[in-house]
Amino acid sequence: MSFVRELVCSRCGRSYLPTERPVLCASRDLGRLDVVYDYEELKEFLTREAVSRRPWAGGVWRYWELLPAAMEFGAPFDEGLTPLFCARRLNDHLGLRRMRLKDETRNPTSSFKDRAMAVGAAKAAEWGAETVVTASSGNAASALAAYAASLGLKCVAFVPENVSLGKAAQLISYGARLFRVKSVEEGRDPTVQAMLRAVEEFGWYPCPSFGPFNPYQVEGPKTIVYEVAEQLGWRFPDAFIVPTGSGCLLAGIWKGVRDLVELGLVEGEMPRLIAVQPEGNQPLVRAVRKGLSFSDVVPERSPKSIASGLLDPYPWDGDAAMEGIRRTGGTGVAVTDEEILEAVKLLASKAGVFAEPSGAVGVAAAVRLQDEGHLDGSDEVVVLVTGSGLKEVEKLVPTVGEIPLITPDVEQLRRYLGT
């Protein structure tokens, strides 16, 4: 049973029936096929009470009526359903007493991308695809590879030349065919180019976490908003701070907000959506700050940052992301690598959450936003912590300094402790 009514191209408005099995817009215009549900029918039974009665289980499928793939083709991973909590020591340190962390490092492959790939891979299985292919800095690919392994699909992943070791190890262990792709042209993502050529040549099912190349997976991350609303007792926080690369996550958050409003499940003001990018790759944030429209976004020529998951030179889903920011009175903020590393340290040492640099940028942004007057101590802000530090230990080990080597001897210990 499905409540999907149609899919509508975000660029040309062309409409598709779900039975046509659309993935890319036939106009080849890089539009995303936005999934439209039968909200009138859903309103009849999808009430707060009906959802709250369900056990807190089943992963993203807890909200199956609002997903565009059949639950029976999903993997039994129980992704999502992540904790939302106030880290008191961190909040005291930052002076943001109502800040909450949504800890997405707890997902099955340790990043929020599991939510996307749960849906994208289920759709591939539903359609009987044999091989799924992706372009990714590593997290989305690892997630897809894990779901493919569980569902018995072959997985091919194109990743950047300097992919993180943790992500590569995960991918290979899950059985993906992994290819590192050299950059040949500034401002273009070589992994996306490789994926598109492979799709054309071999007819594989494309499943990157970019809306224009797979509209189904976009719907997975919106479950973050459903969960947060439920965890807060069916209300929105004041703001969401969202680590942003391609803008797909932010587009999903915006869709989640609209779904809840459309269905009357949450009332009141919409949360401000705030995009965070690293200073060395901020095409979307720059456009937001300059008040430009999406068509004026200029790809970053040579992205550079320690936040390897946020290096997409072009925000494929920037249209929806920018609409969400504008319609909610949100903003965009860029943070330096130094601020990001400090955020990693703060999250670990004051909240007990070990995040990779890309996953920690939200905390760096919270500090900046406070300085800039966009946030104040009374704001209830939800910071998405999107990926685990275990993915990129090679980036973090150099920051801890030398680790003392001792014999089991108290005197040596004293010397190091300085007591």
Residues that bind Zn ion (CB under 5 A): 9, 11-12, 14, 25, 27, 29, 31
Q: For residues 11 and 326, which CB has a smaller minimum distance to Zn ion in the complex?
A: 11
Query: Which among 115, 111, 114 is positioned nearest to 256, based on CA atoms?
Result: 115
Q: For residues 30 and 172, which CB has a smaller minimum distance to Zn ion in the complex?
A: 30
Residue 107 touches which member of Zn ion, ligand PLP, none, C-beta under 5-8 Å by kind: none
> Smallest gap, in angstroms, from Cβ of residue 201 to Zn ion?
23
Residue 125 touches which member of Zn ion, ligand PLP, none, C-beta under 5-8 Å by kind: none
Tokens in use for 72? 């029976």
Which parts of 94-133 interact with ligand PLP (CB under 6 A)?
Answer: 111
End-to-end CA distance of the chain: 68
Q: Is 368 exposed, middle or buried (0-12, 13-18, 19+ CB in 10 A)?
A: middle
Residue 9 touches which member of Zn ion, ligand PLP, none, C-beta under 5-8 Å by kind: Zn ion
Query: Which among 142, 130, 196, 191 is positioned nearest to 169, based on CA atoms?
Result: 142
Regarding 256 and contact with ligand PLP (CB under 6 A), the answer is no
Which parts of 203-232 interact with ligand PLP (CB under 6 A)?
Answer: 209
Q: For residues 23 and 363, which CB has a smaller minimum distance to Zn ion in the complex?
A: 23
Looking at the chain, how many residues does it have? 419
Residue 137 touches which member of Zn ion, ligand PLP, none, C-beta under 5-8 Å by kind: ligand PLP
CA distance 218 to 117: 9
Residue 310 touches which member of Zn ion, ligand PLP, none, C-beta under 5-8 Å by kind: ligand PLP
CA distance 194 to 299: 18
Query: Which among 419, 418, 379, 409 is positioned nearest to 99, based on CA atoms?
Result: 379
Which parts of 355-394 interact with ligand PLP (CB under 6 A)?
Answer: 356, 358-359, 386-387
Q: For residues 22 and 245, which CB has a smaller minimum distance to ligand PLP in the complex?
A: 245
Per DSSP, the residues of 285-339 read HHHHHHT--GGG----SS---S-GGG--SS-TTHHHHHHHHHHTT-EEEEE-HHH
Q: For residues 29 and 161, which CB has a smaller minimum distance to Zn ion in the complex?
A: 29
Query: Which among 307, 241, 313 is positioned nearest to 275, based on CA atoms?
Result: 241
> Smallest gap, in angstroms, from Cβ of residue 8 to ligand PLP?
21
* Main-chain phi, psi angles of 283, to 5 degrees: -60, -35
Tokens in use for 81? 């359903």
Stretch that binds ligand PLP, among 40-48, 84-92, 242-250, 290-298 (CB under 6 A): 242-250
Regarding 139 and contact with ligand PLP (CB under 6 A), the answer is yes
Regarding 281 and contact with ligand PLP (CB under 6 A), the answer is no
Stretch that binds ligand PLP, among 3-11, 42-50, 147-155, 237-245 (CB under 6 A): 237-245
Q: Is 56 exposed, middle or buried (0-12, 13-18, 19+ CB in 10 A)?
A: exposed
Tokens in use for 408? 């089991």
CA distance 126 to 343: 41
Residue 328 touches which member of Zn ion, ligand PLP, none, C-beta under 5-8 Å by kind: none
> Smallest gap, in angstroms, from Cβ of residue 52 to ligand PLP?
29
Among 310, 351, 375, 383, binds ligand PLP (CB under 6 A): 310
Tokens in use for 103? 């800890």
* Main-chain phi, psi angles of 196, to 5 degrees: -65, -40
- The site string for ligand PLP over 151-190 (x = CB under 6 A, - otherwise) reads ----------------------------------------
> Smallest gap, in angstroms, from Cβ of residue 142 to Zn ion?
30
Residue 60 touches which member of ligand PLP, Zn ion, none, C-beta under 5-8 Å by kind: none
Residue 31 touches which member of Zn ion, ligand PLP, none, C-beta under 5-8 Å by kind: Zn ion
Contact 220, 251 (CB under 8 A): no
Side chain identity, residue 16: Y
Element (H, E) at 282: none
Residues of the shown chain interacting with ligand PLP in the complex, contacts defined by CB under 6 A: 111, 137, 139-140, 209, 243-249, 309-310, 312, 356, 358-359, 386-387
